[in-house]
A and B are shown apart, each in its own frame.
Chain A
Amino acid sequence: MTSAISTSTVRLVGVAVAGALALSAGAALAQTVKIGTPTFLTGAAAPAFGIPAKNGVELIVRGINNGELPAPYNTKGFAGRQVEALIYDEAGGGTKQVTEMRNKVQKDNVDAIIGIISSGTCAATTALSEELKVLTIQTVCGTTRVFEELNKDPKYVFRTINTATANNVSAARYIAAKMKGKVKGITGINQNYAWGQDSWRDFRLAMATLMPDVTATKKPQFPKIFSGQYGTEISALSRAKENLVHSSFWGGDLEAFIGQSSARGLFKRKLFVLTVGETVAYRLGKKFPQGIMVGTRGPYGMYVANDPSPINAWFQKEYRKAYGEPPSQPSYQYAQGYLAGKFAYDDAAKKAGKFPTTEQVIASLTGATFPSFVGNVTMGLSKGHQIVTDDRWGVTVWDDKKGEMVLEDVVIFPPGCVNPPNGVKSADWLKGGMKGAKC
């Protein structure tokens, strides 16, 4: 009898405690801003992009929640509420990501999505974001299709990174400025999907305008993404009469290509422009070839490693402390998405005098200019939903003192120099000779 009473009492207490915990947890959760963050946690895109991006998010969320960031981001949380980042895997393709996003919004009740690496995922989910009415800040994908074809009148979708066009136009401008007389022709090796195809097209068109005497190959290489074996392509590139090779390879594909090309002396025979080469430069260390033009798609990673701006200095210091390595471009790009989120929530709350609605946050972010790691950035294109930043190019050189790869002969191209004017499609702008560029 005693035992039975005791058991039921324990059960009652248990239920009460569980209920109380659930209620308090619910109350606590209600005070957070839940952000769904897709990034590659598995698969070939994880090491060079997904994991550094995840690290960047964890660090910036810690900084935001604790009020560690320098001004103007030195208040805690988004509009005073703690940020809860639900990081989930972006692997599996567009269809899976549509389901994942739907689940995050409808089951987990996230307030916003900040992330997305793959251009495929951005293209697959942009219409869904509008349908679900969820604020979505795309952080890495570069395809121009998002706002030029798929979502011409965006409301809920933003992107806080330059498009692939800006990346390749700035590469061409750097070559035109620094390699005049050295370049006899251009060829390319790019992965056979939207990113690779678009990158080569944009680079070729920009070069045709800036260096009309330089011919482009009729046989650019487009190996399958993640194929890992590039022996035949390296032979073809070695035999090509063009002496500059353009590549938008990234991650493991780029590492494998560099390893195989180095063993075959390709970097000694050709000039190279690697539009996102920085993603592996830190990892490869001395194995990364010197004298290579590498890009970061904006003021991120290697290009800002020594920039003294307070937010950047904090990020560099804390990232190296937390992860034992320097932050590369995806860490910056995801963190910049969160800075955009903080700016918009704080600004909207200030204007509303209370915690803002999604519509108020969107109004604050549309067309906004907000402080980022190394100065202000502006949501300047696509009706205020597409960011424009400067883009930077330089040449790799090993720094013995720092024990890491650094860049020299750096040129900074302002946003107006590498992006089309507002309302003009990227491809049309390139084909028309990049009229209206402000360099």
Chain B
Amino acid sequence: MDFELLLVILVDGLVYSSYLFLVAVGLTVIFGVQKVLNVTHGAFYAFGAYLTAYLIGLWAKGGLPDAGGFFLIFISAAILGVVLGVIIERGLLRFLYDRDEHIAVLATFAAFLVLEDVILLIWGTDPYLAFQPMSLLGSSEIAGLVFDNYSLTMIVLTFVVAFVLWYGLNRTQFGKILLAVIFDREVSMAMGINVTKVFLITFIIGTFLGALGGAYHAPIISVQPGIGVEVIVLAFAVVVIGGMGSIPGALIGAIVVGISRAAAVHLFPEVELFVIYGIMALVLIFRPEGLFAPIKARKI
């Protein structure tokens, strides 16, 4: 195998890993803290993509500079993080924390279906295209191939998000509170931590991350009905591989899957589909808790 091909596989793999990480990290944050397998996450992604593509379209129609698209990406994600996060957490999940975890899966699946229909009601069935930010950034040549710079910025964004989350969790007071809640919710409450507030903030962060994934991808994809379904399946695979609730796990899981898939597409395209789920199956066989699952304290 030549060096150029290796380099191309690495770049392609990292771009795809970034996509996977951005869609999976919010899911793992919410599960890590709240122990909720949040199927609604796919709808957060879709909402992020739709709102961003819609706003970028309006922005372009108004003759405003394309660079504003980047501002709209983060604004859309932030608005959706707060609005959808509060609605779903306060309106649905808070009633389910003491119930079996399977109930939350079913309830969030129902909410996901409702939100998918809400998207159809708001934006209809026409796909939205918002290529302006991608066109704005132009392209670069790597190993004789042209890569669009926008996709390359996803790699940077991924590492920024991963670092901010790691720092927030390990170096801030809120992070320490979160760790305490993750470790033992009841004891945290007994120690005076407002767990309700922690849950709400965590869910808003998770929702923001889901919406950010969609918002940042909007300029690359055709934003159309059903995109949330595709994403949630991939996100689950990455989270399962990395370990439910582990942020480093999501990052490593995304990189493993992304680079393996890129290698498959270049070398054995017929197994491209198999690779992701093949890795997931192997992890489930040999390390069912995932590669980086946090150690669980056994309660007596």
Contact = CB atoms under 8 A, between A and B. Distances in A.
B227 A263 contact: no
Interface string B263-284: 0011011101100000000000
A226 interface: yes
A102 B241 CA distance: 42
A255 B127 CA distance: 9
Interface stretch (A215-223, A309-317, A350-358): A215-223
Contacts of B134: 259, 263
Nearest to B268: A219
Interface string A387-400: 00000000000000
B254 to A, nearest CB: 13
Interface string B1-40: 0000100100111011001000000000000000000000
Contacts of A235: 8, 11-12, 145, 147, 265-266
A66 interface: no
Contacts of B269: 219-222, 233, 236
A229 B16 contact: yes
Contact of A264 (B19, B127, B147, B272): B147
Interface in A212-268: 219-224, 226-229, 231-233, 235-236, 238-239, 251-253, 255-256, 259-260, 263-266
A284 to B, nearest CB: 8
B139 A260 contact: no
Contacts of B227: 44, 226, 228
A259 B16 contact: no
A229 B217 CA distance: 9
Contacts of B139: 263-265
B153 interface: no
B221 A239 contact: no
Interface stretch (A45-53, A374-382, A427-435): A45-53
Contacts of B131: 259, 263, 287
Contacts of A74: none
Interface residues of A, number: 41
B220 interface: yes
A220 B266 CA distance: 10
Interface in A15-62: 41-44, 46-48, 50-51
Contact of B150 (A51, A232, A255, A263): A263
Contact of A222 (B5, B16, B270): B270
Contacts of A256: 220-222
B135 interface: yes
A192 interface: yes
B265 A43 contact: no
Interface of A is mostly: helix
Nearest to A44: B226
B265 A252 contact: no
B222 A232 contact: no
Given A192-B273, A228-B221, A264-B148, A236 B265 contact: yes
Interface of B is mostly: helix
Contacts of B221: 228-229, 252, 256, 259
Interface in A284-323: 284, 287
A231 to B, nearest CB: 5
Interface in B125-169: 125-127, 129, 131, 134-135, 139, 144-148, 150-151
Contacts of A192: 273
Nearest to A284: B129
A263 B135 contact: yes
Nearest to B272: A223
B222 A259 contact: yes
B41 interface: no
B225 A42 contact: yes
Contacts of A44: 224-227
A229 B19 contact: yes
B120 interface: yes
A436 to B, nearest CB: 33
A238 B4 CA distance: 13
Given A232-B13, A263-B131, 18 more contacts: A46-B225, A47-B127, A47-B225, A219-B268, A220-B269, A222-B269, A224-B273, A228-B227, A229-B16, A231-B16, A235-B265, A252-B127, A252-B221, A256-B222, A259-B222, A260-B148, A263-B148, A264-B147
20 contacts: A46-B225, A47-B126, A48-B127, A51-B126, A222-B270, A222-B273, A224-B273, A229-B217, A231-B15, A231-B147, A232-B15, A232-B261, A232-B262, A232-B265, A251-B127, A252-B127, A256-B221, A259-B221, A263-B148, A264-B146
